[in-house]
Structure 1
Amino acid sequence: MDLKRLRYFVTVARLGSFTRAAEELRMAQPPLSQRVQELEAEVGAPLLDRDSRPLVLTPAGRLLYDQAVQVLQKTEAMVTSMRRLLSDERPVFNFGVVPANFHSSLASIIREYRRVLPGVEARILELNSLEQVDALRTGRIDAGISRVEVPAEGIRRIVLREEPMVVALPNDHPLATLEEAMPLVALKDEPFIVYANNPRPSLADHVLAQFESRGVSLSRTIEIDQYDTALILIAAGTGVSIVPASARLVTSPGVSYRPLVEHITSPIIFCHREDDATSELRALYFALAQFLTECGHPIPKELRLRTDTALD
């Protein structure tokens, strides 16, 4: 079975559109459609319901899609491994992180990682949670740290910890001087800033869901793309927001942080390819365990088990 046809089919199925898939693959739509038709002829069954919008997989299409994703993932990993083996270049380990998402601890993790594997170059790519899934499957990154649970075939996810969230508001805001914790309802009439990364879901959806689940209706929301922009708007007195507590470690003139009455957290999620057994990934398990221990956080059971195995 031709790998290129499989890749074309997986892209169409993932995006639910021949037009969008052709754009991503940088090819014309007619030959893309023809390649998928050839694949359908080869397997002897239709793979897509072309009458639906977006396109929907048939039962045969779903079965092939699940298998094709794994085949393409393993092929890409094999090619990457061979390229590294045959290259004289320094080995590279690529981290995917959610843009501007308060990874103040990432520097410490990478420092520990470089201590364990000094011969490996660590690189960082800014990708949202959904983009990390595709990047892992295609080999663009070797591991990711995200904030949103995105279940995906062939991707292992470990919640490292649940981080408390706090209110971010202008220094001169009347609520900034309160010593006691602040309830969510106190924010209902404030212009509320959400930093949403497309495609959704994003951390913004998680934050907004906290208000909805408690019956608090916000009078006005301001949606922006970047957290840096949110900080500028907050410092300028334009609005308030809710952010992970580690945001307080980032210097933000004009912004104050207050604790919440409600216990609201945001998960920090470590993800990688399920079948990855490289020494580079094992070193990252060890670095993460070391970092959590030094910070006084418990080590997740799955992370501990794999760390123990890596040290055997």
Structure 2
Amino acid sequence: MELRHLRYFTVVAKHLHFSEAANELNISQPPLSKQIKQLEEELGITLLKRNNRKVELTEAGKYFYKSAIRILNVIEKDIEIARNIDYGEIGSLTIGFGGTVVYDLLPKIIKQVKVNYPNIKLEVRQLTTSDQIKSLLEGEIDVGILVPPVDEENISTLSIREELFVACVPGNHRLANNDSPVDIKEFKHDPIIMTPEKSGKGYYHSVINLCRNAGFYPNIEQTAQEQQTIVSLVASELGVAFVPQSTKRVVHENVNYLPLLQEHKKVTALAWHKGNYIPAVNLFIDLIKEHFVEV
């Protein structure tokens, strides 16, 4: 028994007329009659009573008609689900993220995925850039949102946005109430709080280069991985920090954010393994390109 037998039978059962059914199916009447006969022989039951005047369903035919409709509906639904899985519209996607994207970019991305692909199950994992790279290579996450560069030939990246660095200072700092952009040289002798290099070379070296371009090497007194922790350490008056603008969303009563005279930018990028052929990954990349690429 083939699916076409079921489809042909349901159309004949609907019209109770072979000519009308053949017209709907766009086939001639003799082959249609032959297909129905093959179905009856396969099942070993009579589905239709035929004579020169009319076609009627037998009692078995009435029951099987309802069953055939149900079977075809289930199959059509399953085919559609399979197509959606192949297109990436159903399935799961594990996203790695780190840094300040948790405050603004990540919630927007998750919301957009839910709007465009409500059947994709999302899992998010907070990881440093270096941990994201490792997880991408090992297949533990599907995509990452991190700070480039990524020195792995098997990982592709797409820049999403650039944002300026600002100074994060305690409320009692001598420059805390400065209204105009501050020259980073003013912090030459201040203790600096920043992320450790092992967490992500891109972010770490951005801060180092920011200072070096101003003629000094930062006096690193304290390190912390999370932006919220860095802000708390600044509020505790352990030093100052140079953070991306999005960190300003972390509000603390004993912290001020100051624009810098030097316009040095931090880049955020999407990353994925070149060998990851999960359809949802391609859909996610296209969604990011359409809605979130700023650079």
TM-score (norm 1): 0.60
Task: Verify the 8 A CA contact 1:116 1:283 in the aligned structure 2.
Answer: no
Contact 1:189–1:220 (8 Å) recurs in 2? no
Tell me the SS of whatever aligns to 1:176: coil
Residue identity opposite 2:190 in structure 1: E
- 1:154 corresponds to: 154
Matched residue, 2:33: none
Match of 1:140 in 2: 140
Where do 1:1-312 residues align within 5 Å?
A: 91-99=91-99, 103-196=103-196, 198=198, 201=201, 203-219=203-219, 221-292=221-292, 297-298=294-295
User: For residues 277 and 137 of structure 2, what CA distance do their matches in structure 1 show?
Assistant: 15
Query: Equivalents in 2 of 1:215, 1:198: separation in Å?
Result: 24
Report the alpha carbon displacement of residue 118 of structure 1 after superposing the two structures with TM.
0.8
Q: Distance in 1 between matches of 2:253 and 2:121?
A: 33
Look up the equivalent residue of 2:154 and give its one-letter code. G
Deviations 1:272-299 (Å, cap 9, x if unpaired)? 1224344312331243234337xxx35x
Query: Residues 290 and 171 (structure 1 numbering): CA distance in 2 closer, same or farther, change over 3 Å?
Result: farther
**1:153-174 deviation per Cα after TM superposition (whole angstroms, max 9, x unaligned):** 2211111222111111112322
Asked whether the equivalents of residues 147 and 200 of structure 2 are also in contact (C-alpha less than 8 Å), the reply is: no
- Aligned residue type for 2:266: S
Report the residue type matching 2:186 in the other structure. Answer: A
List alignment gaps of at least 5 residues for structure 1.
1-84, 299-312
Letter in 2 for 1:236: S
Structure 2 CA distance for partners of 1:94 and 1:130, relative to 1, 3 Å: same
Which deviations, in whole Å up to 9, do the C-alpha atoms of 1:95-118 show, x marking residues without a partner?
Answer: 011255655211011110121111
Query: 1:145 & 1:190 partners in 2: Cα distance?
Result: 31
Once the two structures are superposed, what CA deviation does each residue of 1:117-149 show, in whole Å capped at 9, x if it has no partner? 111111111222222222112211010011131
Give 3-state SS (helix, strand or coil) of 2:185's partner.
helix
SS of the residue corresponding to residue 292 of structure 2 reads helix
Within 2, Cα distance between the matches of 1:262 and 1:179? 15
Q: SS of the residue aligned with 2:114? A: helix
Query: Any conservation in 2 of the 1:103–1:246 contact (CA below 8 Å)?
Result: yes
SS at match of 2:136: helix
- Higher mean C-alpha deviation, range 199-208 or range 168-177: 199-208
Q: Could you tell me which amino acid in structure 2 is paired with residue 152 of structure 1? A: E
**Kindly tell me: are residues 100 and 265 of structure 1, through their superposed partners in 2, closer, same or farther at Cα, counting changes over 3 Å?**
closer
Q: Which has the larger radius of gyration?
A: 2
State the one-letter code of the partner of 2:178: L
- Specify the code of the residue in structure 2 equivalent to 1:156: S
* % identical aligned pairs: 20
AA of the residue aligned to 1:178: N
SS in 1 for 2:260: coil
CA distance in 2, matches of 1:219, 1:251: 25
Structure 2 residue ranges without an equivalent (≥5) = 1-84
Are the aligned partners of 2:92 and 2:280 in contact in 1 as well (CA < 8 Å)? no
CA apart distance, 1:212 = 1.8
Contact 2:96–2:132 under 8 Å retained in 1:
yes
Native 8 Å contact 1:170 1:256 kept in 2: yes
* Amino acid paired to 1:259: P
Kept in 2, the 8 Å contact 1:197–1:225? The answer is no
CA distance in 1, matches of 2:280, 2:200: 30
- 8 Å CA contact retained: 2:144, 2:271: yes
Compared with structure 1, are the counterparts of its residues 219 and 151 closer, same or farther at alpha carbon in structure 2 (3 Å cutoff)? closer
Question: Which secondary structure state, in structure 2, belongs to the residue aligned with residue 253 of structure 1?
Answer: coil
> Could you state the TM-score of these two structures normalised by the residue count of structure 2?
0.63
